Structure 1
Amino acid sequence: MKPLNYLHINLSTGKIRPLPIKEGVVRAYLGGKTLAAKLLYDLLPKGVDPLSKENILIINTGIMTDTGAPSSSRFNMTFKNVMTGGIASSNCGGSFGMMMRRAGVDGLILVGGAEKPVYLEILDGEVTIRDAENLWGLDAEAVQERFPKIYGKVVIGPAGENRVRYACAVSGERVAGRCGCGAVMGVKNLKGIVAYGTKRPELYNKPAFDAYVKKWVKFIQNHPMTGDSLPHYGTAGLVNNANASHALPTHNFKRGQFEAAEEICGETLADKYLTRNSGCVSCPIRCERRVMVDGREVKGPEFETVGLFGSNIENSNLELINEINYKADILGLDTISLAGTLAFAMELQEREMADFGLRFGETGNLLEIIEKIAYRQDIGDELAEGSARLAQKYGGADFAINAKGMELASYEPRRSVGMGLGYATSNRGGCHLNGGYLALMESVGVMSVGAQGTKGKPELTAFMQNGMEAGSAAGFCLFTMQTMIPSILYHMGPVSPVTHTAGKAMIMARGVLGNMWPLMPGLLPVKTMYLMPHCKAIELATGMRMTTGEFLQVGERGFTIERLFNLREGLTAENDSLPGRLTDELQEPTDPSTRVDLETMLPVYYKVRGWDERGVPTWPTLKRLGLGSL
C-alpha cells in the first residue's frame, strides 16, 4: 500500500505543501472519516471556535474511492462541529471524490481563511487558489453550472455564505449534509473546490478484483433490500414500515404514527412523481429518486426529508416536499436540521412560548421562511441557529429533539430504543448512521430484535457503529452494509417465526458481542460475502491484509478517537443524552417500555466499549487500539 497524497493548504497565506500519509497510518485508519479524525485531533488546538477561520476542514477519500468497487464514490468532510462543538464528519457521493483522486490528491487539509471569496482548482495534481468574487451569492446549482460538466465539484450556497449553523456542501446534486460544513467553508470564504484528473488508482490484483466486484454486484442486485426495495422505492420506501411500527416521527416526535403516511410514502412517490431512478457513480443499487420540480428533473427526497418535512410537521403534501428538498439543496441547507428546527418552532408557537409564524399542518409560508433562513433575514436569523440554541433562549429543551445539539434523523427512538442509544452516543450528534442504525433491526427493516427491549442493544449498537465507521472510512456507501441481513429473512417477512428466532438469537449472543472487541482481529479471521464483503475487495485492490475482525477494529479505532476529540472539547457522559420527551415521556401511556431507557443501556454500552463509568476510554483500550500516545 503506497502512502496517501494529502495537501496542506493555508488559505490565509496561499501556501500549499504536501503532507504524505505513511503506510502504517493508512493501514490503521484506511482513510475517510477515521483518518480525518486522527488528523483533526493532532492538528486542531483545543477550544477553537467552530465558526472561526482557525477551524480546520479536512476533505478526503477512502482507499477504495474510485476503484470501481460497488458504491465507492464517496468522499468525507471533517472539522469541528458547528452544531455541537465536538467532532464533525459529513459524507457525500457525487463525482468530486473520484475526480480528486484522479487528479492525484487523496485528501486536503484546509487551514486559515481567505480575505476575499476564493475557490480551489485541482487539475491533474496542480492546485490553484482562484478568485471567486463573481461566484459569491450564487446558489449551489448556479455556481456549479459555471464549471465544465466533467469536473468534480463541491460548493456552498447562500446558507454557507451566511453561516447558517446547519449549512451543507453540495456536490452535483449530492449533499454533505450534516454538522455545518457549509458554514465552515463560508467562514473561510471558500466558495468551492473543483477537480479533474485522468489517472485511476492502481489496483494490486486487477483481474481478481474485477472478478470479485462482478460477483459482489450480483450479490447486491439479488438481495431484496439493495436489489428490490431501494431501487424501486428509494429510502422513502421505509415510511410505511416506520409508520406501522410507531417509529415515524409525527408532530415534533410527539407521536410515532401519521394518519396520512400513505400520501407521503415511497410507493406514492414512485407512482405519482418518479420520472426514473438513478444513483451515484459505481453504485449498482440506484436508489436515487428523480422527480419534476418547476418543469425540471431534479433529485427527489430521501426518507429523512420525507419524514421530517412530512409527518413531523403534519404535512401530507408530497409535491411540496419535493419542492422543499430541491430548494434546500440549492440554498445549501441540511434538511434534517432544517426540518427539526421548524418542527420545534411550531411547538413553541403551539405552547405560546414564541411565534415564528410556523404552525403544524400549515405549509403555505414554508418556502419563504426557508429562504429567509438561508439569508439570515428577519426570523430566519434565529431559526438559522438550530433547535438547541432556540431552546436556550425560549425554553422547551425537553421537546427540542436533538442529541449534543444536532437534530435527530427520522426514526422515533421510543419504538427503536437501540437507535435511541445510538443517537445519544453518536460522536457527531443526532445521527442515525454514526449511531449504528439499529433502527434497521428494530423498526424499519425485516429483523425483529425487540424494538423496545434494552437487552442486547448496547452490544449490537457498538457492533454496528464500528462496522459502519469502517465502511465509511474505506470510501463505501453504507447501504452496502444492508446485505448483512440474510435474504431469506426478507422473503419470510417480519412476522415469520424464523425471523423472530433469528432476532432472539442476536439478542442472546450479547455475551459474545459484549466481550469480543479485545479479541477482534483473531476472533473473526474470515472474509465472507455474507457479512462484510468489503474486506476481500480491500485486499485485492490494495494488497493490504484485511479480515472481518481487522476491518471492525479499524471502525472501533476511528470511533474511539472521535470520542477522545469530544472529551477534549468538553463533551462528556452528561452529553450522551436525549431530550426528556424521548427518555421520560411514554409514547404509549399504558406501556412503560415506550421510552428510551438510557440509564439501563449506557453503563453496559460503556463497558462493552472498554470505557470507564464516565464514558472515558480506559488505558488498556487505548493501548490495544494503538492510541496510547494520545
Structure 2
Amino acid sequence: MSTKYGGYMGKVLQIDLSNQKLSEYPWTDQDRELYLGGKIMAAKILYDNLTTKIDPLSAANLLVVTTGPLTGSGAPSSSRFNISTLSPLTEFIASSNCGGTFGLFLKKAGYDALILGGKAAKPVWIEIHNETVALHAADALWGKTTGETQKLLQADTGKLVIGPAGENLVRYASIASGERMAGRAGIGAVMGSKNLKAVVVSGDHTVRIADRTSMKKIYQGWLKQLRQHPLTGNLLPKLGTAGLLVPMNAHKILATRNYQYGQYKDFELISGKTLAEKHLVKNRGCQTCPIQCGRVVRVEGREVKGPELETLGLLGSNLENNDLELILKWNLLLDELGMDTISTGSTLAFAMELQEKGLWSNGLQFGQTANLENIFADIAYRRGIGDLLAEGTKRLAKRFGGQAFAIQAKGLELAAYEPRGAVGLGLGYATANRGGCHLNAGYLVILEGLGLNMDPHTPKAKAALTITLQNIMEAVSAGGSCVFTLFAMIPSGLVRRPNRYLTRLVNQALKHSGGMVHLINKLSAKFLALNLPLLPQSSAIRSVTGLPMNFGKFRDIGERGFTLERMFNLRLGLTANDDSLPERLTADLQDPHDQRTRVPLDEMKQEYYRKRGWDAEGRPRAKTLRRLGLLERV
C-alpha cells in the first residue's frame, strides 16, 4: 500500500508464524496523519487486532515492530525503532524503544513496520531482504546468548535476537539489536513464546524526503541546539546518562536499598565521573546522533557497552553494591542472557528485603554480591529460586507478601528515580500506560531537580505538567526521535545558571502554572498552528513527510496515542486502582521530619483524570475521544 508522504516506505509486512503466511497489513495515509508511526502506530494495530483478553505468551499475541517517519532520514538522534506487544509481566500494553540498527535496515528492506503473530512449530529465525522473506530452522542458534547469535548471522544487516531468558519465558526478558536492548516489560519472552530466535533484515531502498532543502536547514539548527545545550552537548556526551546519578543523589531521588532511601553513601563509587575516569574507553552512540551518550568500557579484556544510569542505580545503590567493576560485568552478562537490568535489579532488591523481613528464605542479602552472577543465570534458565525470581516483583509479592514494598506500578518495576523526592514523577509512574516507566511517565523529574528546580514535593501544577510532557514524549517517540532530544527543550540559560534571579523566578512560576498549562493543553490545534524553535521535531516531520504538521497537531498526535494505549488497557481490565504505587512511596515518609516527603498520589491522580478529560474511574469521556478523533475508532 503506497503513500503520498515522504519519510515512509508505504508497506507493513505481517508474518503468521503458525502457517508461515505473509501478507501486507493495510495502513493508509489517513492512519499516518492520525497516528504518525512508532509506538502510536503499534498501539493502533494492537487495539484493532487484540479485541479480547488473552494470554500474552499465547500464539494469539502480536509482536509489532515499528519505525517513525524520521527513521532513516538522517535527522539528529533518529535511528530509533519501537517494539510493542501485550506484556507477560504486566498483562497490559508494552512498548520498548531501541537505538539499535534494526529500524534503519527495516526501512532499507522497504517496510515501515513488521507484525509477527502465531507460533512456529519449532524454533526458527526470519530472513528478510527487500520483498524476499524466508524462515529458517534455528536449531543451531537456540540456547545461545544474544552476542553469540548475532555473530552467527549475516553481517551488515539489522537484527533482533533473544537470549536464553527469552527462550525460557522470563517475564522481563529483552530483545537485542546489536549492543542495544529493547529491554522492558518482557517483550523478549513474547518473542520466545513464538519460537522465534531472530529476525534479520536488509535491502537497498532509500527514504524519500518531501522537502530536502527545508530539511537540511532544520537539521542544521537542530544539531546546533543539541550541541550547545548543557545537557545534550556537555553532560550526556561527557558522562552519559550515568552523569545524572550525582544530582539524583543530591536531590534524594536515587533508589537505594529497595527504595527505602533516596541517597546512597557510596554514590561516588558508582557515579558517571568514576565511570569516565576509571573505565571509559570511548563514547559511542546511535547512528545520526550527535549526543553520543553511550559508553564503551573494557570487561575482561573486551571492549563492550557500558551501563546506563538505570543499571548503575538498580544493580548498584538499590542492592547496596558499590563495586562498579562488578556492575560493568553484570551489565554485559544480563545483555548476553537477554534480561532487563532494571527489572532484574529491582526484583533482587525486593527478594533481599523479603529475606530480611523473614517472609522468604532465599539467601539473598543487601550488600552481598558473591553469588549474584549465578543467580542471574538461574533466572535466565529458570533454575531453583531463579524460577520464582523470573516472575517479577508483583508475582513474588502475591506469593510471599510484602506488597507495601514491592516497588512496581502495573506490574512493571520502577526505574531508578525515587519518587518521594520528585512527586510529579510519582504521578507519572502511576499513570504510565506500560507501568513503572520514567519515560512513559513524562519524565517530570527534569523539572523537579535534574534540569530545573521547581518544588519537587508540591502537588501543585504536577498533573497539568505531567500530561503535557507525556503527550509530547509520545509524539516525539512516534516520530522516530530519541526522547533525550527533549532535554534541549529547556532553555539552556536556565540550566547553566540555576541560581540567577530569572531561573529562580521560573522555578517559582512553574509551581503556579497549572491553570495556564491546562489551558494550553486544551486549546484546539488550530490555535497552536506554529512550530516552536525549542521543539524542532514537528518542523522536521513536516519537511521530511510533507504532512501539514505544526505544534498543535503534533501535541494532538501524542495525546491521541497516549489515550489509545489507555483504551487498550481498559479493554484488558485496567481500573483506577491500577494507577497506583506501593505504600512505601505513598504512605511512608522518606524524611520522618518532613510530611511532604511522600507521593500524594490520590490528590494528584484525581486532578490528573479531570485534566485529561477522564472520569473518576480513569476512563476517557466521550467528549475527549471525539476531540481526538477516536470516538468512532475505539
TM-score range, shorter chain: over 0.9
Partners in 1 of 2:403 and 2:435 — Cα distance?
A: 16
Partners in 1 of 2:630 and 2:582 — Cα distance?
A: 32
Aligned residue number for residue 32 of structure 1? 38
Aligned residue number for residue 450 of structure 1? 455
Partners in 2 of 1:354 and 1:561 — Cα distance?
A: 40
Alignment of 1:438 onto 2:444: yes
Deviations 1:128-147 (A, max 9, x none): 22211111011000000012
Aligned residue number for residue 347 of structure 2? 341
Partners in 2 of 1:322 and 1:338 — Cα distance?
A: 15
Tell whether the 8 Å contact from 1:239 to 1:266 is kept in structure 2 after alignment: yes
Aligned residue number for residue 462 of structure 1? 467
Structure 1 position 526, deviation (Å): 1.4
Structure 1 position 20, deviation (Å): 3.3
Aligned residue number for residue 526 of structure 2? 522
Tell whether the 8 Å contact from 1:372 to 1:381 is kept in structure 2 after alignment: yes
Structure 1 position 127, deviation (Å): 1.6
Structure 1 position 219, deviation (Å): 1.3
Q: 1:566 aligns with which of 569, 577, 580?
A: 569
Q: 1:485 aligns with which of 471, 487, 490?
A: 490
Give the match's secondary structure for 2:136.
strand
Aligned residue number for residue 231 of structure 1? 237
Deviations 1:411-450 (A, max 9, x none): 000010000000000000100000000111113x130121
Partners in 2 of 1:67 and 1:243 — Cα distance?
A: 38
Aligned residue number for residue 397 of structure 1? 403
Deviations 1:493-545 (A, max 9, x none): 2x443222112222322112123333241232211222x11011111101111
Aligned residue number for residue 592 of structure 2? 589
Alignment of 1:296 onto 2:299: no
Partners in 2 of 1:163 and 1:247 — Cα distance?
A: 32
For 1:29, give the aligned amino acid. Answer: Y
Give the match's secondary structure for 2:325.
helix
Partners in 1 of 2:120 and 2:406 — Cα distance?
A: 36
Alignment of 1:557 onto 2:590: no
Alignment of 1:320 onto 2:313: no
Alignment of 1:370 onto 2:376: yes
Aligned residue number for residue 116 of structure 1? 122
User: Which has the larger displacement, 205-214 or 149-158?
Assistant: 205-214
Structure 1 position 208, deviation (Å): 2.1
Partners in 2 of 1:39 and 1:607 — Cα distance?
A: 28
TM-score by length of 1: 0.98
Deviations 1:108-164 (A, max 9, x none): 111111010111111123222221111101100000001232111010000000000
Tell whether the 8 Å contact from 1:83 to 1:179 is kept in structure 2 after alignment: yes
Partners in 2 of 1:296 and 1:7 — Cα distance?
A: 37
For 2:420, give the aligned amino acid. Answer: R
Aligned residue number for residue 502 of structure 1? 506
Tell whether the 8 Å contact from 2:433 to 2:440 is kept in structure 1 after alignment: yes
Tell whether the 8 Å contact from 1:32 to 1:76 is kept in structure 2 after alignment: yes
Partners in 1 of 2:527 and 2:332 — Cα distance?
A: 47
> 4+ residue runs of structure 1 moved beyond 6 angstroms?
none
Tell whether the 8 Å contact from 1:62 to 1:475 is kept in structure 2 after alignment: yes
Aligned residue number for residue 357 of structure 1? 363
Alignment of 1:620 onto 2:626: no
Partners in 2 of 1:138 and 1:496 — Cα distance?
A: 55
For 1:438, give the aligned amino acid. Answer: L
Number of residue-to-residue matches in the alignment: 627
Tell whether the 8 Å contact from 2:409 to 2:435 is kept in structure 1 after alignment: yes
Percent identity between the two aligned chains:
50
For 2:517, give the aligned amino acid. Answer: L
For 1:586, give the aligned amino acid. Answer: L
User: Which has the larger displacement, 352-361 or 389-398?
Assistant: 352-361
Q: 1:11 aligns with which of 10, 17, 29?
A: 17
Structure 1 position 356, deviation (Å): 2.0
For 2:551, give the aligned amino acid. Answer: T
Deviations 1:548-584 (A, max 9, x none): 1111110000000000011110111110000000000
Give the match's secondary structure for 1:100.
helix
Structure 1 position 355, deviation (Å): 2.2
Give the match's secondary structure for 1:59.
strand
Q: 1:68 aligns with which of 56, 63, 74?
A: 74
Tell whether the 8 Å contact from 2:414 to 2:429 is kept in structure 1 after alignment: yes
Structure 1 position 607, deviation (Å): 0.9
Partners in 2 of 1:480 and 1:571 — Cα distance?
A: 32
Give the match's secondary structure for 1:290.
strand
For 1:458, give the aligned amino acid. Answer: A
Partners in 2 of 1:303 and 1:36 — Cα distance?
A: 27
For 1:269, give the aligned amino acid. Answer: L
Q: 2:51 aligns with which of 42, 45, 56?
A: 45
Tell whether the 8 Å contact from 2:218 to 2:536 is kept in structure 1 after alignment: no
Structure 1 position 207, deviation (Å): 2.3
Give the match's secondary structure for 1:145.
helix
Structure 1 position 211, deviation (Å): 2.5
Partners in 1 of 2:163 and 2:53 — Cα distance?
A: 28
Tell whether the 8 Å contact from 1:105 to 1:125 is kept in structure 2 after alignment: no
Structure 1 position 84, deviation (Å): 1.1
Give the match's secondary structure for 2:152.
coil
Tell whether the 8 Å contact from 1:520 to 1:552 is kept in structure 2 after alignment: no
TM-score by length of 2: 0.98
Give the match's secondary structure for 2:280.
coil
Tell whether the 8 Å contact from 1:515 to 1:608 is kept in structure 2 after alignment: no
Give the match's secondary structure for 1:442.
coil
For 2:501, give the aligned amino acid. Answer: P
Partners in 1 of 2:572 and 2:438 — Cα distance?
A: 22
Structure 1 unaligned regions, length at least 5: none
Partners in 1 of 2:368 and 2:441 — Cα distance?
A: 32
Deviations 1:171-219 (A, max 9, x none): 0000000010100000000101111122221000112212321221121
